[in-house]
């Protein structure tokens, strides 16, 4: 899927050959508006650079899911982020068969934007994937956004999330024939710096937390 990965990267950088193509480009433009006249251009530029870094990290996680985790089948993906400014939710459907992928790229870019929003320090986020496999089985997996990456949820975590109405809190009847699965670990890019290597990745956001709060 290298061609698709390159297209995602070009979209993030605003380098698509056809600028009229509907790839959700506006959704990827995180240029924070100044909250007051006292905010300097340098501060705005720094904030925009940090946001763009998170978009790259979200794209890394998304592409890693496609390459190494999801497997063959049709996948319904829903990403959500709870931020101080409200809740963001984006969904997407894609189909994977071997090395081929059938996908709506505008939806993919919007979903990456929501994942990136969930990586901001004051936000929380997650991703749920419902898979319809070639053998007819149906399963649900989930990941939470933590430490700038997707962390797998257990089967029980996902089952509990689907057993309660999110609006009323009332219990829901379990869906028949649905397998709530332990989510897989999402591999990090090989180019990312390893802990203790003394180097930093071009896609790794700076970690400003105290040493005892990391990992």
Predicted confidence (pLDDT) per residue in 106-135, tens digit: 899 899 999 999 998 888 999 999 999 999
CA torsion sign, 171 to 177 to 182 to 183?
A: negative
> Does residue 194 belong to any structural domain of this protein?
no
Dist CA 30 CA 55 (whole Å) = 9
Dist CA 1 CA 94 (whole Å) = 13
> Does residue 156 belong to any structural domain of this protein?
yes
> Does residue 197 belong to any structural domain of this protein?
no
Range of the domain at 15: 2-186
pLDDT score for 47? 56
Predicted confidence (pLDDT) per residue in 22-50, tens digit: 434 344 444 445 555 566 656 555 656 66
> Does residue 29 belong to any structural domain of this protein?
yes
> Does residue 114 belong to any structural domain of this protein?
yes
Asked whether 178 and 140 are in contact (CB, 8 A), the reply is yes
pLDDT score for 46? 61
pLDDT score for 112? 92
- Total domain count, the chain: 1
Low-confidence ranges of the chain (pLDDT < 50): 1-4, 7-8, 11-32, 193-215
pTM greater than 0.85: no
> Does residue 64 belong to any structural domain of this protein?
yes
């Amino acid at each position: 899927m290298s061609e698709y990965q390159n297209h995602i990267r070009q979209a993030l950088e605003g380098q698509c050959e056809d600028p009229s193509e509907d790839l959700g480009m506006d959704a990827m433009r995180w240029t924070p508006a100044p909250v007051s006249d006292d905010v300097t251009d340098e501060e705005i530029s720094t904030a925009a650079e940090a946001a763009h870094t998170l978009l790259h990290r979200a794209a890394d996680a998304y592409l890693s899911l496609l390459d190494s985790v999801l497997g063959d089948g049709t996948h319904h993906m829903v990403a959500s982020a709870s931020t101080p400014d409200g809740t963001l939710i984006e969904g997407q459907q894609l189909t994977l068969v071997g090395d081929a992928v059938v996908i709506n790229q505008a939806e993919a870019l919007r979903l990456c934007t929501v994942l990136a929003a969930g990586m901001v320090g004051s936000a929380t986020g997650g991703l749920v994937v419902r898979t319809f496999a070639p053998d007819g089985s149906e399963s649900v997996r989930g990941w939470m956004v933590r430490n700038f990456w997707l962390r797998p949820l257990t089967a029980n975590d996902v089952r509990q999330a689907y057993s309660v109405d999110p609006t009323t809190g009332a219990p829901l009847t379990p869906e028949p024939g649905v397998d709530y699965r332990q989510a897989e670990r999402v591999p990090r890019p090989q180019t990312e710096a390893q802990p203790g290597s003394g180097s930093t990745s071009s896609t790794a956001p700076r970690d400003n937390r105290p040493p005892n709060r990391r990992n």
